[in-house]
Structure 1
């Protein structure tokens, strides 16, 4: 980022005003985004107003279709730049996603994922997920022990939890990455879409998108800033769910859990998956 872009995201209006005064081009881009875009994305409306007053263009085209002014329409200050130009609106699908964000964000607020793997699957219930994974229900005593203390007792590497939620189901493993592995997400995503996350204690949240068995995106960062090649949906979700990887993953798959139990447990059912190489589909 340039100094102006960094200040737009993190600084004060006074800092932004001074840097904007010095800038040769207040709409200079880094990876396709201007300082004004970063101010809106970071929910810093006062910084955005300063930049607009200094000549920054709220309606400047953006690679993913989210100019700063259009992105603001999806947030708490939709009138940040006054009336939008003719034809600049949220699509019906985007409006549905935006309307669901406050409830989903509140339901999953504060979910700590460190060390957890999860897969959010659209249109698939827990019973169908078990069938697709060729899994069996865990021994009730094991299930009770895991629900009481879900931290990888010896011999549980092949166990995952599954919970039905509105829109589909969530597969979790509080102590490991199994739900996000290529074979698990590939099997779960047949005819639908699955968003997988592993919250690596060493490197943070790692996301993947798998649709009908095909990986469309990997090494993603749900809840973080979008990449330069992020899709329009990924940009919108990064704005709606900053720092909330669980809500981001659920929203991508169209899931609408009403509380955090599907993520934090205990799950509806503990499942035992067959032993196999879950990193390679040919296994």
Structure 2
């Protein structure tokens, strides 16, 4: 890829339409791929529809295949302007499942709202409730008022790492620790995921959001970046979810596990119950 073509991708995301038009006029191929996507795809993904129109006028192809079947045109069908491009005859639209995912993303993001979750660890677990989570973790239920306990605990005390909150939500439960990574620890996720799926999230204050996927006790994804741009080799579902939940790591994590939260309490607290984890190496 030439420098101008790489610069066009950057401009499609952050530049002005004038800058995009100037670069588009200099490149050899306005549809050159970088990390598996064209500049037009980037503009659609980032919601820069002003730049989309400039790129199309410069000859960019909305229906060029890429990103596990999500061409720029098909991706736009899942966005706020599904009529951004005219869909050619013979090009399929969204499936019923994809339409349902779009509707749910709008609902879930609205339900969660703006969250301050830095430093929080989450485990979003499908198909089990708080009581089953406690059983799988062999954890003791603390006989405390959940809200008062949250106010009284010292997050800077090493002892606090032994406590996690659990809240039942539609579709499963959320295990949370507002001050630490413990819910995403591999030993925790493996136990919680028996026969189901667990999406873990730690909002690391030093390095950003870190995600993981564990299915039936097996780690199938680690050091992920929920809410970030998809990788070139991501599957179709991951590309769609990256678009629907861009810059929203918590909503992405919940949606991946199929949890349908109606508010943010499972994340921000107080939880339904507090659990004390047993003494063991929770990374094994």
TM-score, normalised via structure 2 length: 0.94
Structure 1 residues 85-137: Cα deviation after superposition (integer angstroms, max 9, x where no partner):
42422122211111111111112222122111001111111111111111111
Residue in structure 2 matching 1:270, options 268, 274, 282: 274
**How far apart are the structure 2 equivalents of 1:98 and 1:237?**
9
Whether 1:97 aligns to 2:101 is: yes
Q: Evaluate the alpha carbon distance shift between residue 228 and residue 101 of structure 1 in structure 2; reply closer, same or farther with a 3 A threshold.
A: same
Bigger mean CA offset, 94-103 vs 171-180: 94-103
Q: Considering only aligned residues, what root-mean-square deviation do their CA atoms show, in Å? A: 1.5
**What are the superposed Cα offsets for residues 55-109 of structure 1, whole Å, 9 maximum, x if unpaired?**
1111111132211111100010111111244242212221111111111111222
User: Residues 144 and 105 (structure 1 numbering): CA distance in 2 closer, same or farther, change over 3 Å?
Assistant: closer
Is 2:145 aligned against 1:138?
A: no
Q: How much has 1:150 moved relative to structure 2?
A: 5.6
Partner of residue 50, structure 1 = 54
Equivalent pair of 1:7/1:15 in contact (CA under 8 Å):
yes
Say which SS state the counterpart of residue 134 (structure 2) adopts: helix
Deviation at 1:144? Answer: 4.4
Which stretch of structure 1 is more off in the superposition, 64-73 or 153-162? Answer: 153-162
For residue 188 of structure 1, the aligned residue among 168, 182, 192 is 192
Contact kept? 2:213, 2:222, Cα under 8 Å: yes
3-state secondary structure, aligned to 1:237: helix
Runs of 4+ residues over 6 Å off in structure 1: none
Gapped regions of structure 2 (runs ≥ 5):
none
Structure 1: which 5+ runs fail to align?
Answer: none
Segment of structure 1 superposing worse, 61-70 or 28-37: 61-70
- In 1, Cα distance between the equivalents of 2:267 and 2:90? 42
How many residues are paired up?
Answer: 279
- Secondary structure of the 1:172 match is strand
Quick check: 1:152 aligned with 2:132? no
Query: CA–CA distance in 1 between the matches of 2:107 and 2:65?
Result: 30
The 2-side partners of 1:85 and 1:113 are apart by: 45
Determine helix, strand or coil for the equivalent of 1:22: coil
